[in-house]
Amino acid sequence: MDKTQFAILVVDDEEDIRDVLEIALTDIGYQVFLAKDGKEALDLFEAQQPSIVITDIKMPVMGGIELLKQVKQRAPDTQVIMITGHGDMELTISSLKFGAADFITKPVNVDILELAVSKAVDKLIADQKLAEYTHKLEMLVVEKSKLSSHLSSLGLMIGTVSHNIKGLLTNLDGGLYIARSGLKKKNFTDVAEGLDLLAQNVDKIKQMIMDILMYSKDRQMNRQPVPAKKFLTDIQETMTMKLAHHPIAFQLDAAQAPQTLNIDAAFMMSALVNILDNAVDACLEDKDNPDHKISLTVEKNRDNLVIKIADNGCGMDVETKEKIFDLFFSSKQVKGTGFGLFIAKNIIAQHQGTVAVDSIKRRGTTFTISLPQKDQMP
Ligand SMILES: Nc1ncnc2c1ncn2[C@@H]1O[C@H](COP(=O)(O)OP(=O)(O)OP(=O)(O)O)[C@@H](O)[C@H]1O
Ligand SMILES: [Mg+2]
């Protein structure tokens, strides 16, 4: 480490002493500032923030002890070396009380001066190292607590997910049973119903696995220009499949969409499908209304890509709305893991975007996602 990285402020009312100290310290390589009394020194100290102050103990205007106090108040780590004369015993003792690092006596001996400065520098370097270690240690503690919270949520997730998989497996068994017995009886309506149940549950397992992978692998985002048409057609096809046997209309409005979207397509697809899945569930949950609709609107608003997903399903009350992005919050009992929106929000945040929710119980819900697209939109 370069010892001369520390600047030194020399304070003495005697010009000769200032000169001697300046020459000796500049020769070694230190940057030196000079002041003739405590007041001038304090101004210089504030402007230059030297790490070491060498000050005469007796000076007009503001003495060495007062300067020491003021310096320590402003920067407690500063190393202050006092220059003392004959008969300054009491002042010397009192400067000890206020945290002086060392003393040199008048007339100043250059070797002793160098030794005192070198000791002060060693102390500064040790302080610096200590601060670095402390900082590293703090970072490690933060990392460790992040890791353990990740691990504990992972454990919780495995529990919840296995529970859900059990439910899904029961549904698969049911689908298989219906399809098989339909085959036996040559009743193809039953076969179709069984296969449909199988397809729905395979789809759910797929989505769940995708979510888990995204959460646990912490894959790096890879944002790049993606043709909007292809991305939105993929979503439309997924929705057509999902809604094949449900009386829910799906409407895509991309008239105001840009040609290119600056997104990580796989991640964003997963986020939107999670929100759309919830919209489907909300419509199915709302059994009183026979006329259900889900819409996806994509438009450009200045530098933002705005995606709206609206449904006229069951909606939610204010208490539910506050919790929907929490990991494992679900109102769907065994049918939900409470993973979907947690993932979706994370993905949107990784795109530096925001998501807002409007919902009215029994009326429906609208999710509004805003993604900054700066410099990437045509
Ligand atoms: N469109 C919506 N309408 C009404 N309630 C919703 C809607 N979207 C989300 N919610 C509420 O938010 C909760 C959390 O949603 P989230 O997608 O995180 O979990 P989930 O759908 O219950 O389970 P998972 O998505 O893991 O299968 C839901 O259980 C539901 O109560
Ligand atoms: Mg969901």
Question: Is residue 169 within 8 Å of 202, Cβ to Cβ?
Answer: no
Mutate to test the pocket of ligand 1, among 171, 210, 295, 324 (most ligand atoms within 8 A of CB): 324
Q: How far is the CA of 325 from the centre of ligand 2 (A)?
A: 10
Q: Does ligand 1 lie within 6 Å of residue 339's CB atom?
A: yes
Instruction: Indicate if ligand 1 lies below 6 Å from the C-beta of 278.
Output: yes
Closest ligand relative to 342 C-alpha: 1
Q: Is the CB of 282 under 6 A from ligand 1?
A: yes
- Token pair listed for 39: 């007041």
The residue ranges of the chain whose pLDDT is under 70 are 1, 153, 156-157, 160, 215-219, 334, 375-378
What is d(CA 238, CA 276) in angstroms, rounded to the nearest whole number?
10
List the structure tokens of 103. 């003393």
The reported pTM is 0.58
List pLDDT tens digits, range 289-347. Answer: 889 999 999 999 988 999 999 999 999 999 999 999 998 899 987 678 888 898 899 88
163 ligand 1 Cβ < 6 A:
no
Ligand nearest to the CA of 324: 1
Half-sphere exposure (Cβ direction) of 174: Cα atoms closer than 13 Å: 13
**pLDDT for res 218:** 59
Closest Cα to residue 53, out of 83, 93, 27? 83
Helix 265-285 with 228-242: angle, nearest 10 deg: 30
Domains in the chain: boundaries? 6-108, 220-378
3-state secondary structure of 65: helix
- Is there an atom of ligand 1 within 6 Å of 332 CB? yes
Structure tokens belonging to residue 56: 């005469």
pLDDT one-digit tens code per residue, 25-64: 999 999 999 999 999 999 999 999 999 999 999 888 888 9
Q: Which of 171, 203, 333, 341 to mutate to test the pocket of ligand 1 (most atoms within 8 A of CB)?
A: 341
Atom of ligand 1 nearest to the CA of 278: 8
What is the third-level CATH fold of 6-108? Rossmann fold (3.40.50)
Residue type, 198: L
Cα 340 to averaged position of ligand 1 atoms, centre (Å): 7
Question: What CATH number belongs to 220-378?
Answer: 3.30.565.10
Q: Is 84 in the pocket of ligand 1 (CB under 6 A)?
A: no
Nearest-CA residue for ligand 1 atom 17 is 340
Task: Report whether residue 307 contacts ligand 1, using a CB cutoff of 6 Å.
Answer: no
Distance from Cα 228 to the centre of ligand 2, integer Å: 24
The enclosing H or E element of 160 equals helix 110-184
Closest ligand relative to 204 C-alpha: 1
* Ligand 1 and 95: CB distance under 6 A: no
Q: How far is the CA of 212 from the centre of ligand 1 (A)?
A: 16
Q: What is the DSSP string of 222-272?
A: --EEEEHHHHHHHHHHHHHHHTTTSSEEEEEE-TT--SEEEE-HHHHHHHH
Q: What confidence score (pLDDT) does residue 377 get?
A: 41
- Per-residue confidence (pLDDT) for residue 376, from 0 to 100: 43
pLDDT at residue number 69: 95
Phi-psi map region of 319: left, alpha, beta (phi>0 left; psi -120 to 50 alpha): alpha
